[in-house]
Chains A and B, each alone.
Chain A
Amino acid sequence: MTRYVLRRLAIGILTLVFASAVVFFVMEILPGDPARLMLGLNATEDAISALRQQMGLDQPVFVRYLAWIGGLLVGDFGRSYTYSVPVLELVTERAAVSLPLAFLSLILLTVIAIPVGLFAAARRGRAADAIVMGLSQMGVAIPNFWFALLLVYFFAVWLRWVPSGGFPGWQSGLWPGVKALIMPAVALALPQAAILARVTRGALIDVLGEDYIRTARAKGLPRNQVLWRHALRNALIPVLTILGLQFAFLIAGTIIIENVFYLPGLGRLIFQAITQRDLIVVESVVMLLVASVILVNLVVDLSYAIVDPRLRGAR
């Protein structure tokens, strides 16, 4: 158990280090000098080199990488080239929209997909199964941002139940904030739920063919108990694996979905930063998102050990 956990932790940290190096060095080979960019066309060479020195741009790349990593660890993301405010300030303000959105859709995704997968697996080959599978085949093919546009049209433009977008801010209370995130979260979660429901069904059908399920049924356990307790637990590994991968899609999805609903999240920040060539902001946001993907996958890896005791001794 400890060995498995330690190994996974080490791999997670290693991945994080290499991924941060990729982000940093890719952004480093950029043409264009941030100092020159900040000062504009009329700046003198002296002023530019002075600013370069102040920003530490005259240091060797490797030193700057270490300084950047060290900064990230203590919450110093540097200063935005265009806004001249700490990047951390910009990022936390926007992350307060994007991360709740990602987690809300993760919850919705799980809450929808697993019961639907169970339902379909329990009625394998019957009409209900066929309908669920047909719907999920459709769901897999629908781009989330198009689905979002349809939701906006149906609920905001046509029925006028909800505003078509925007975000009131958390200072106006928890419920108004969550309310503004519900439709975006549904748009993000449903297409992914279609995938997860298929995986859950497939994994359950495999497990339901096993001897211990027959034994459990034969000794008189109720069908539902066998399904939820015995079968689901054994089918959880593939489900968790896909769920971890889906978090990466949800993170990327929030960036796109924010554009549909005009949400002031990390997605809009990053696109602004790209047009303004505010690279330190792009770098920080990408790093933050990559780190959260790695973190969630680490949690998934570790949860295997809880779900499947056999893994604790393995590898």
Chain B
Amino acid sequence: MSDMSVTSAPSGTASFLRRALRNRSFMVGLVITLFVAAIALLSFVWTPYDITQLPVSERMKPPSATHWFGTDHFGRDILSMIMIGARNSIAVALVAVGIGMGIGVPLGTIAAARGGWLDETVMRFNDIIFAFPALLSAIMITAIFGPGAVNAIVAIGIFNIPVFARVARAGALALWPREFVMAARVAGKGAARITVEHILPNIVSLLLVQGTIQFALGILAEAGLSYVGLGAQPPMPSWGRMLFDAQTRMIVAPYLALFPGLAIVITVLGLNLLGDGLRDLLDPRLNRER
């Protein structure tokens, strides 16, 4: 039952695709997410304007046919900056999810496999990290190494560790008493081998759903960090930094604050819808949990 993962049988794949196409929140989320990713990739080869140029004559122009989203106080095209900012947001959030999974999942699965004092230690370690919101970690890291995008990645990544450790542990604990795991133990497989061969494949869907949620949270956290100056540094455009710059100019140019904010909302909304949809698709039993 729980081995109905994405990669089961060809017929399973076909029925999965059929269900995916019918799942509205999955499809809407997927389209938005792919759109944002495509914009970020496109920005590597093309943006409407070159944002390293600072044309004085184009400063603070409201949205128009030539500059769809207007220009900022340096005359830079807002649309181009948002496109490049998408790269930064996605990169930071993605690597932070990678850090969280890379460390959290082994911790969680080991804790579940061994139990006892090791489990207790991992859980208490989680408690400690949970006491540090990403912003506080970022503040400490910045106080030491100075501001930069890497700090944001590390701070958000650290915050993700206990999240994935808990999800992996809970998922693994539910699997250990199951018959197919028992069978593997009877067959003489060790805890490590069972974890890799039987536990991990069966918690992939849980991790995927959580990964999508953490990705969305990472985008929000990165925006907050760069808004207070603890994330990407100028001239690298980032959505949070653009909102910071917009704040003091809001009376004359409210559009400066509108578009970067919308970019964040749309991206996060897309990822959340994708996560909700994935949850429904990958494990119908999970529906009732939220």
Question: What residues make up the interface of A, taking CB atoms closer than 8 Å to B?
Answer: 11, 14-15, 18-19, 22-23, 26-27, 29-31, 137-138, 140-146, 149-150, 152-153, 157, 198-199, 202, 205-206, 209, 245, 248-249, 251-252, 255-256, 259-260, 267, 270-271, 273-274, 277, 279, 282, 286, 289-290, 293-294, 297
Q: Is B38 in contact with chain A by the CB < 8 A criterion?
A: no
Number of A-B contacts (CB under 8 A): 136
Q: How far is the CB of A209 from chain B (nearest CB, A)?
A: 8
Bound form: Cα–Cα A10–B213 in Å: 32
Interface-forming stretch among B60-68, B93-101, B127-135?
Answer: B127-135
Residues of chain B lying within 8 A (CB to CB) of residue A144: 224
CB–CB B220/A251 < 8 A: no
Bound form: Cα–Cα A200–B69 in Å: 39
Task: Pick the residue among B131, B142, B144, B246 that contacts A294 (CB under 8 A).
Answer: B131
Bound form: Cα–Cα A23–B140 in Å: 8
Q: How far is the CB of A298 from chain B (nearest CB, A)?
A: 10
Q: Is B90 in contact with chain A by the CB < 8 A criterion?
A: no
CB–CB A146/B261 < 8 A: yes
Residues of chain B lying within 8 A (CB to CB) of residue A297: 127, 130-131
Interface footprint category on B: 35 or more
Bound form: Cα–Cα A14–B254 in Å: 48
Q: Which residue of A lies closest to B133 (CB)?
A: A252
A-B contact pairs, 7 of them (CB 8 A): A137-B272, A138-B269, A143-B223, A143-B265, A146-B223, A149-B257, A153-B257
Residues of chain B lying within 8 A (CB to CB) of residue A249: 133
Which residues from 175 to 208 on chain B have a C-beta closer than 8 Å to any C-beta of chain A? none
With A15-B128, A146-B243, A248-B130 as given contacts, are A256 and B227 in contact (CB-CB < 8 Å)? Answer: yes
Q: Which residue of A lies closest to B266 (CB)?
A: A141
Residues of chain B lying within 8 A (CB to CB) of residue A27: 140, 143-144
Task: Pick the residue among B127, B144, B268 that contacts A29 (CB under 8 A).
Answer: B144
Q: How far is the CB of B268 from chain A (nearest CB, A)?
A: 4
CB–CB B131/A290 < 8 A: yes
Q: Which residue of B lies closest to A267 (CB)?
A: B228
CB–CB B136/A286 < 8 A: yes
Q: Is B288 in contact with chain A by the CB < 8 A criterion?
A: yes
Task: Pick the residue among B124, B131, B132, B224 that contacts A256 (CB under 8 A).
Answer: B224
Bound form: Cα–Cα A228–B264 in Å: 37
Q: Is B273 in contact with chain A by the CB < 8 A criterion?
A: yes
Q: How far is the CB of B264 from chain A (nearest CB, A)?
A: 5
With A252-B134, A259-B227 as given contacts, are A141 and B216 in contact (CB-CB < 8 Å)? Answer: yes
Q: How far is the CB of A277 from chain B (nearest CB, A)?
A: 8
Residues of chain B lying within 8 A (CB to CB) of residue A22: 128, 132
Q: How far is the CB of B141 from chain A (nearest CB, A)?
A: 8
Q: Is B9 in contact with chain A by the CB < 8 A criterion?
A: no
Q: Is B18 in contact with chain A by the CB < 8 A criterion?
A: no
CB–CB B134/A18 < 8 A: no
Task: Pick the residue among A31, A245, A290 that contacts B136 (CB under 8 A).
Answer: A290
With A143-B220, A153-B254 as given contacts, are A248 and B133 in contact (CB-CB < 8 Å)? Answer: yes
CB–CB A143/B228 < 8 A: no
Q: Is B14 in contact with chain A by the CB < 8 A criterion?
A: no
